[in-house]
Amino acid sequence: MPLPPPLMLTTGPVTAYPEVLAAMARPVVYDTDPAFQGFYEGVVEKARAALRLSNPPVILQGEAILGIEAAAAGLIRRDDVVLNLVSGVYGKGFGGWASRHGREVIELAVPYDAAIDPAAVAEALRRRPDIAVVSVCHLDTPSGTINPLAEIGAVVARHGGYMIVDAVSSFGGMDVHPEEVDADIFCASPSKCLGGTPGLTLLGVSERAWARIADNPDAPRASFLSLLDWRHAWRRDRPFPVTPSIPEIYGLDAALERYAAEGPEAVWARHALTARAARAGVRALGLELWPRSEAIAAPTATVFKLPAGISDEALRDRMRDRFGVLVSLGRRETAGKVLRLGHMGPAAQPVFAVTAIAALGAALRSLGLPAAAEAGVAAALAVIAGPASPTDDIPSSKASLGGNAALL
Ligand SMILES: *Cc1c(COP(=O)(O)O)cnc(C)c1O
């Protein structure tokens, strides 16, 4: 096993919190031991509270893409028309699953540095009253942009449609919850902003979506894609459809505990502040952000354009090998055009933005490119050291800095 990079500022998976890893090392118990079944019910209750749901969420036994595929397979009926909103790679990708299960997929796309306009969604629904399902990626990570989800949800709800949301890289890092945005299926992941590991999906499913899935003759059963199989798995008096990954459930429990203990608002505040510092640093270095405007820039990933004369891999490798900071490359349409600084879970520490900008500026210079490294660092630092920094009000921020000391 090669040594891990000293600081991992990736867009997921992220370095899990130490308490998550410690929990995962506990002995594996028999899944139908009543003690474990009771524990599992407690984990689902913690997830329900974090998601602010009025019904229990479902945990599926695979990382988030499983949940997204399961949402398509369960909710979309074979005669359905689906409106797929595309502002990036993940949104685009959902169209493939939607067309596997539905009759027709209509794509409403914007350039990958822009956000979906709710008025355009309303217009698309007006033109095609037969659209039954709308799918949207809230935060398309390869673009580092966010869509106005609550407004889109309100438009879809007025139309009477069902909305599937990929909130994998936003939930836990900002204020977004399924019922507040009228989502019918809301996919979240333990391995991004919750600081867990990549092995499970969390899904919020509305009661009307459950009714539609139960009515769908093609909804999977006896399958890892089955939402119905897992619907009641949270109940301590029900056996699991298959053995769940016990260590992953331990890890999720610890991640949810930590999220509640630190306080969601405090967690979101440190994600937002880290991203703000990173954006200020990128600009002061003389680089350009990928999102068209800061208003749509994600609080959990900062995506910037590569300067001319350097490849993404050369810059990524220099940052990692010489300066100890691992960042993410672009993906598909953004591959080769951008690099991405992740601010998710344990990596969402404002001071890490300063470190990232220092590493980026130094790497550019060492590769012979101009970079205002000192100005970049100063700009990032000015954001986090400002007198009105929101983290000044976070009582538990010291605990999270302590938890991350192992990373430095
Ligand atoms: C990380 C992520 C997923 C999970 O998919 P992987 O590509 O397997 O990591 C899904 N949606 C979004 C928006 C993500 O950022």
Å from CA of 16 to ligand 1 middle: 16
CA-closest residue to ligand 1 atom 2: 168
- Domain parsing of the chain, residue ranges: 7-11+263-401, 18-260
Q: What integer pLDDT is reported at residue 4 of this predicted model?
A: 84
Q: What integer pLDDT is reported at residue 156 of this predicted model?
A: 98
Q: What integer pLDDT is reported at residue 408 of this predicted model?
A: 29
Å from CA of 65 to ligand 1 middle: 6
pTM tops 0.75: yes
Q: What integer pLDDT is reported at residue 194 of this predicted model?
A: 98
In short, whether 137's Cβ falls inside 6 Å of ligand 1 is yes
Q: What integer pLDDT is reported at residue 404 of this predicted model?
A: 37
Q: What integer pLDDT is reported at residue 290 of this predicted model?
A: 98
Using alpha carbons, select from 209, 163, 171, 174 the residue that is nearest to residue 190. 171
In short, whether 141's Cβ falls inside 6 Å of ligand 1 is yes
What's the CATH code, domain 7-11+263-401?
3.90.1150.10
Total Cβ atoms within 10 A of residue 333: 15
Pocket test for ligand 1, best of 11, 14, 60, 63 (most atoms within 8 A of CB): 63
Identify whether the C-beta of residue 137 lies closer than 8 Å to the C-beta of residue 90.
yes
Task: For residue 387, give every residue at least 6 positions away whose Cβ sits within 8 Å of its Cβ, in sequence order, or none.
Answer: none
Longest Cα pair distance anywhere in the chain, in angstroms? Answer: 65
Pocket test for ligand 1, best of 189, 329, 332 (most atoms within 8 A of CB): 189
In short, whether 169's Cβ falls inside 6 Å of ligand 1 is yes
Query: What is the tens place of the pLDDT at every residue in 124-136?
Result: 999 999 999 999 9
Query: What is the tens place of the pLDDT at every residue in 31-76?
Result: 999 999 999 999 999 999 999 999 999 999 999 999 999 999 999 9
Mean pLDDT by 10 residues, the chain (408 residues): 89 96 97 96 98 98 97 98 98 98 98 98 98 98 98 98 98 98 98 98 98 98 98 96 97 98 98 98 98 98 96 98 97 96 98 98 97 97 80 38 34
Q: What integer pLDDT is reported at residue 3 of this predicted model?
A: 81
Beta bridge partners of 302: 341
Task: For residue 184, give every residue at least 6 positions away whose Cβ sits within 8 Å of its Cβ, in sequence order, or none.
Answer: 75, 162, 163, 164, 205, 206, 208, 209
| CATH number of 18-260, picked from 3.90.226.10, 3.40.640.10, 3.40.190.10, 3.30.1490.20 | 3.40.640.10
